[in-house]
Amino acid sequence: MCGIVGIVGHGPVNQRLYDALTVLQHRGQDAAGIMTLHGDELALRKDSGLVRDVFQQKHMLALKGNIGIGHVRYPTAGCDSASEAQPFYVNAPYGIGLAHNGNLTNADELAEALWREERRHLNTSSDSEALLNIFASELQRVASSHLTPADVFGAIDRLYRRLRGAYAVVTLIVGHGIVGFRDPNGIRPLVLGRRQSPKGEEWMLASESVALDLVGFELVRDVVPGEAIYITTSGEMHSMVVDATRKHTPCVFEYVYFARPDSIIDNISVHKARMRMGEKLAEKIRRLKPDHDIDVVIPIPDTSRTSAMQLALALGIEYREGFVKNRYIGRTFIMPGQEMRQKSVRSKLNAIPLEFRGRNVLLVDDSIVRGTTSAQIIELAREAGARRVYFASAAPPVRYPNVYGIDMASALELVAAGRSDEEVARLIGADWLVYQDLEDLAQAVRHDKARVTEFDTSCFSGEYVTGDVTPEYLTSVEERRADAARERRRAAADGAPLAIVETGIPAGAAAGTAGSAVRAVRIL
């Protein structure tokens, strides 16, 4: 899972890109990058780390221009070194930068075809670099000094025919503008915003509406599945639904965990969806334990607060904050490596004994993935004096890997895979465990005005909406996602310099042609 943003303005966009990335930081804490265009010079700064650490004043001053794109990365399978920070860049045709949120399920096939048929070399194992080179290859077919909207949409039409999986993308094309597009299933989110400046309209694309709010842009609408948006350097906005052949199935886990509660995705308020999750969970508790002895409902901060408050209200039980969170520790689920996740929990949360001592406590979390975090939090509650510790998950059991951009562990690492609710309760140390039902979750997220009737629920149901996920593919994903394999890759890359080079130059591209217009990329 990553966060992306692109802005076409009439004044410098560096500060707005930076601010937008800070508010999208929850979508990725592993790396960050910004690319801007000033005249025919691109400036690029990217590195591992949080937004506040990657960009210093000297970098911000050098990121000149009225057009730019940005990215925050959460490491997915095979993409966890500094060299794979985004945006990526290719110099032909025109000079193109790209930032991508999602995961291509046919990335290996694409990489092989790029080399065999188009002589494009990839420097990383990132599917985003493959996506960039496919887009560049398709634009190369129509490359001329004047790129029309029809040219752009034609290239994206051919792109859609080659890609499989989930993707929301922003690209910067030197001399022409910014292009954004969303996969035909709409699995990953992308919104369009507008701002009226004294010099004319300014446009913005971002993963979540909250990024628009922060920098003063008004939410116009979601980019619909299969749609491409082309915004020229002069601020003209063109749009076209290029591929409308598939069902709109956004990722339900966006609403459960990843998105900020103050965002609106596909015309669905994340905050209200989580409120309804709490109501549905309360109904289930009433059915299963009408004579429950719960004294207090305590959320596990932060994403479960909304659901927990509504659950407590529906059950008529006291709601209390029982954990103090250290806000300088990253999101545990996103942290690479099992040992790091385990160490981070106790440094991240501290219990308030007054709220636990001698009470039957219902802890509410947004979901349970590996179970290690849940087990340690339950242990903290018992150490604080809780008499009994019950546990409620606002999401159903996570039993299957996610292959659409969330680095959700292999099935072997998922605590609910192949286990009953009672077995999971014993493993995490809960006196009782209740999960949300999948249909209740879907009902909690959807509403009449959203025009969304189905969701990607693959990590709960094992049903992959793109229809191309085979057992063999899942096996390969598990191998790449194993913590041991990830640590080996990270160790191998440790100490290596961050090499950012012009990639994907097709054989025969000559300097001075439409395929090589940009003179240089200034690496900061």
Assign 3-class secondary structure to 84-105.
Answer: HCCCEEECCCCCEEEEEEEEEC
The encoded tokens of residue 143 equal 């490359």
- Give, in degrees to the nearest 5, the angle at Cα 500 between 328 and 485: 60
Q: What is the DSSP string of 116-127?
A: HHH----SSS-H
Which of 2, 79, 251, 459 is flagged as catalytic?
2
Q: How many CB atoms lie within 10 A of CB 129?
A: 27
Give the three-state DSSP class for 193: strand
Give the three-state DSSP class for 274: helix
Q: Which pLDDT tens digit goes with each residue over 172-228?
A: 999 999 999 999 999 999 999 999 999 999 999 999 999 999 999 999 999 999 999
Residue 501 confidence (pLDDT): 36
Do 410 and 370 contact (CB within 8 A), yes or no?
no
Q: Are strands 296-299 and 360-365 parallel, antiparallel or unpaired?
A: parallel
Angstrom CA distances, 187 to 1, 248, 251, 447, stand at 11, 8, 5, 18
Helix H segments across 181-269? 209-214, 253
The length of the chain, given as a count of residues: 524
Q: Tokens 């999401």 map to which residue?
A: 395
The encoded tokens of residue 501 equal 């080079």
Reply yes or no on whether 2 is catalytic: yes
Nearest residue to 121 (alpha-carbon basis) of 160, 78, 91, 87: 91
Residue 330 confidence (pLDDT): 56
Residue 522 confidence (pLDDT): 77
Q: How many CB atoms lie within 10 A of CB 495?
A: 6
Amino acid identity of residue 517, one-letter, is A
Low-confidence stretches of the chain (pLDDT < 50) are 78, 333-334, 484, 495-517
E strands, 183-295, are: 191-197, 200-206, 218-222, 227-232, 237-241, 264-265, 268-269
Helix H segments across 105-207? 107-118, 127-140, 149-162
Phi, psi (degrees; rounded to nearest 5) at 154? -65, -40
The encoded tokens of residue 117 equal 């048929």
Residue 121 confidence (pLDDT): 82
Residue 502 confidence (pLDDT): 37
